[in-house]
Amino acid sequence: MELKRSKMALHAIAVALLLVAPDLVYAVVCHSFQHTGTFRVSHDPKVLLLIIPLGIGLITARPKALSFTYLAFLCLIQLGQFAHIAYFGTCASAHSVYMLLYELGDVIRESANVFWQYAYIIPVVVTPFVGIAYLIRSSERCRLHLVGTILLIGTICAIGTRVPNRHRGAACCPNEIRFTINNSLKVLWGYLLVMQSNMVSIKKYIPYEVIDTGYKPDAPVTIVYIIGESMNYNHMSLFGYERDTTPNLKRLATEQTFYHTPGIAGGIVTLSSCKFMMNIVREADNSFFKCANMTNLFKFAKSRGFKTFYLSAQTEHLLTSIAGVHYIDVLITKDSNIAKARSMQEDYLRYLLDQQTFTDRNFIVLHQWCIHSPYNDFPNIKKFSGSAEARVDEYDSAMTYNDVMITRLFERFNKQKRGKFYIIFASDHNELLGEDGLYGHSHLAPKVADIPVMIQSNDKAFMDEMRAIFKPNHFEIATVIAKLLGYEIRNPNEEPDTFYISGAEYSGKFGYIKYRKSSKDRIVEYLLF
Ligand SMILES: [Zn+2]
């Protein structure tokens, strides 16, 4: 019996490895010849752990016809996935599934046209599945068959969503650092649960045009983009709050090169905002474009010879909306070292920065965790008390800690004498503390998008450009960063002075706010909800 169980366990592990084998083979063999696309194999062992139960299920479920049917289904969706990767250069999104069905005739015609060019994906995908079929066929009946059957069905949901009911919004786009089997099930669920269950049809936009305006090497150049978390400028003394919550930033603001202003977020939760902070996308419901990686800031920086960094005190699931993973040289998140990140709190970013080797051109994205709720998880430099609500005191106290953390990040990079430095801080969204009777974020209300923006640079032209923008929003900030890197985006769909605040899902599926903002007239007018 023991022998039989060990054999079954080995077979289950073998099945899991075979399920991810197409990723490895494609990356090593095909990708090295093609040199195109953004495909990157997952390095996350946790995902493999999720796939092992599927291996056990496939081996032990009875009747075997159930395993074979499911296997054929997986093989089919993986063929579709790799066809998408080979043709488009990126993993399929829920929108790809939608487009496949929407333009089925065109897809069939083009598939026939390019069939032989991409036929190599068939053996890459099918061979491991033949191996799995052989293992299922040779598996012996065991007492676990009922558990196996439940596992088989359960894993369809578990692998697809990873954390059911959480991050549903992320389901529409692939997570580029996971295995394709995970992404295939994920976007299929995204299509069925998110795209089909909410709102109406997908709006079609004309693709943007990326214009190369040229880049003159002016080494050294360091661009630091700090993504803040849940920062409310009404609770920063830098912006006039009566409690002195940000004395260090106030000191920094006495420097000529520093500028701070209220801004407007691209979304009301971290996941949706990140898309608009790191990719130049204007419309909240431009879902195809958001999965296409065309205007990703990491991509732009990498193309100009920058060393790119994404150092984050947050979990890696946000990379789903940040995108451009393929163009990141150094990628470290909270998940890379959870124990360290928890113990060091926001100092984790400083710890990660200390370990890096920088070059003459650096594009560094730092992602903060402070001040996400619960606020009293963070240390205080000064402790406030006496507010009608304890949570306001806790938030203000946490702000004194973040004041020190943010100032340290600025002061690490603002001493560069030779060449240029650009430090841009923008919060991902606001954190309401009783404004209009609301608390936290996630509400689709304009106030949730009110964010602090802080900028420091020794490039006067850049500072003048930023100062001229009234309440810069995430779209405008990303656009200015792209311009620094020598790229301009022509958007044929653009309505003058019109911008968007995305709801909880960045394809516009959970609603959005449209607004008109004029730097000339210095007004913001919210149009419709
Ligand atoms: Zn956030």
Across 123-127, 201-205, 354-358, least confident range: 201-205
> Is there a domain that residue 240 lies in?
yes
Residue 432 above 80 pLDDT?
yes
Residue 112 shares a structural domain with residue 238: no
Helix, strand, coil percentages in the chain from 3-state DSSP, rounded to 5: 50, 15, 35
Query: Quick check: 260 and 253 in contact, CB under 8 A?
Result: yes
CA of residue 136 to ligand 1 center, whole Å:
45
Residue 398 above 90 pLDDT?
yes
Residue 137 shares a structural domain with residue 234: no
Residue 126 shares a structural domain with residue 70: yes
CA of residue 500 to ligand 1 center, whole Å:
17
> Is there a domain that residue 427 lies in?
yes
CA of residue 429 to ligand 1 center, whole Å:
6
Which residues constitute the domain of residue 299? 217-528
> Is there a domain that residue 210 lies in?
no
Question: Is the pLDDT higher at 440 or at 288?
Answer: 440
Residue 39 shares a structural domain with residue 110: yes
Residue 290 shares a structural domain with residue 437: yes
Residue 39 shares a structural domain with residue 116: yes
> Is there a domain that residue 203 lies in?
no
CA of residue 432 to ligand 1 center, whole Å:
12
> Is there a domain that residue 202 lies in?
no
- Long-range contacts, 317-320 (Cβ 8 Å, 24+): 317/162, 317/167, 317/170, 317/175, 317/271, 318/270, 318/271, 318/274, 318/367, 319/175, 319/176, 319/177, 320/167, 320/170, 320/173, 320/174, 320/175, 320/176, 320/271
Residue 187 shares a structural domain with residue 239: no
Residue 371 shares a structural domain with residue 282: yes
> Is there a domain that residue 208 lies in?
no
Residues near ligand 1 ion, CB 5 Å cutoff: 229, 270, 428
Query: Quick check: 341 and 313 in contact, CB under 8 A?
Result: yes
CA of residue 70 to ligand 1 center, whole Å:
38
Please, which pLDDT band fits residue 171 given cuts at 50, 70 and 90?
A: low
Q: How far is CA 155 from CA 4, 146, 168, 241, 361, in A?
A: 23, 14, 17, 50, 44
Q: Which of 140, 160, 195 is the last residue of a domain?
A: 195
Across 21-25, 40-44, 335-339, 358-362, least confident range: 40-44
> Is there a domain that residue 206 lies in?
no
Give pLDDT tens digits for 276-294: 999 999 998 886 555 567 8
| The pLDDT of residue 74 | 93
CA of residue 448 to ligand 1 center, whole Å:
11
Give, to the nearest 10 degrees, the angle between helix 45-60 and helix 121-138: 50
Residue 191 shares a structural domain with residue 251: no
The C-alpha atoms of residue 390 and residue 278 are separated, in whole angstroms, by 35
Task: Tell me which DSSP letter residue 265 carries.
Answer: -
How many domains is the chain partitioned into structurally?
2
Percent of the chain past pLDDT 70, that is, above it, reads 88
Whole-number average pLDDT of the chain:
87
SS3 154: helix
What number is the average pLDDT over the span 466-472? 97
CA of residue 430 to ligand 1 center, whole Å:
8
Q: Which of 130, 160, 195 is the last residue of a domain?
A: 195
CA of residue 65 to ligand 1 center, whole Å:
46
Across 405-414, 440-449, 499-508, least confident range: 499-508
CA of residue 506 to ligand 1 center, whole Å:
14
Mind giving me the DSSP string for 352-397?
HHHT----SEEEEEEE--TTPSSGGGS--SS-----SSHHHHHHHH
Residue 486 shares a structural domain with residue 382: yes
CA of residue 126 to ligand 1 center, whole Å:
41
Residue 241 shares a structural domain with residue 275: yes
Kindly report the CATH number assigned to the domain that includes residue 479: 3.40.720.10
The C-alpha atoms of residue 114 and residue 112 are separated, in whole angstroms, by 6
Residue 181 shares a structural domain with residue 256: no
Give pLDDT tens digits for 225-239: 999 999 999 999 999
Exposure of 163 in the CB half-sphere (CA atoms within 13 A): 7
> Is there a domain that residue 377 lies in?
yes
